[in-house]
Amino acid sequence: MQESALKPGTRVFVGHRSELPDGTQRIVSVPGGEIGVIAHGGHLYAYRNRCAHQGGPVCEGMVIGRVMAAMTEDKKMLGEYFSESEPHLVCPWHGMEFLLESGESAVDPRFRLHRHEVVEDPDGTVHVVI
Ligand code: FES
């Protein structure tokens, strides 16, 4: 069955919220592909597990903070550090980075991940919406 054969709005079970602590990256099979659910900073993000670059399994990549430069007031480089306020999802195939919150490429707006809505029911059950 192709994903397009699913009725829009179909919910696919992911798990219970208690099974998805920060750092979890769960891959859910759906007709026509996979969706990755990523728990980070108390939020759940879901994207099609297909990189916008060349189709790699992007949701299996690392989540790291944006690399920032630490500078003095007179612009001398002190070093680099990972931002805690802008997490990036790094595709394992070629290292393209995407903003975890939006799915946009960190460097090239032509590339964007396909985002899916995440629904958490009052009983803690989590679904993604196709
Ligand atoms: S397929 Fe993801 S960076 Fe190339």
Atom of ligand 1 nearest to the CA of 95: 3
Is residue 53 within 8 A of residue 111, CB to CB? The reply is yes
- Report CA(44)–ligand 1 centroid distance (Å): 22
Q: Which of 19, 13, 21, 114 is nearest to 59 (CA)?
A: 114
Domains recognised in the chain with CATH numbers: 9-129 (2.102.10.10)
Which residues form the pocket of ligand 1, taking CB atoms under 6 Å from any ligand atom?
51, 53-56, 58, 91, 93-94, 96
**Centre of ligand 1 from the C-alpha of residue 10, in Å:** 28
94 CA: nearest ligand 1 atom: 3
* Distance from Cα 91 to the centre of ligand 1, integer Å: 6
The predicted pLDDT at position 61 comes to 98
Cα–Cα distances in Å, from 55 out to 39, 112, 121? 22, 12, 31
User: Global pTM?
Assistant: 0.88
Q: Please give the distance, rounded to the nearest whole angstrom, from the Cα atom of residue 130 to the centre of ligand 1.
A: 23
For 42-99, the pLDDT digits (tens) are 999 999 999 999 999 999 999 998 888 899 999 899 998 888 889 999 999 999 999 9
- Rounded CA-CA distance 115/45 in Å is 8
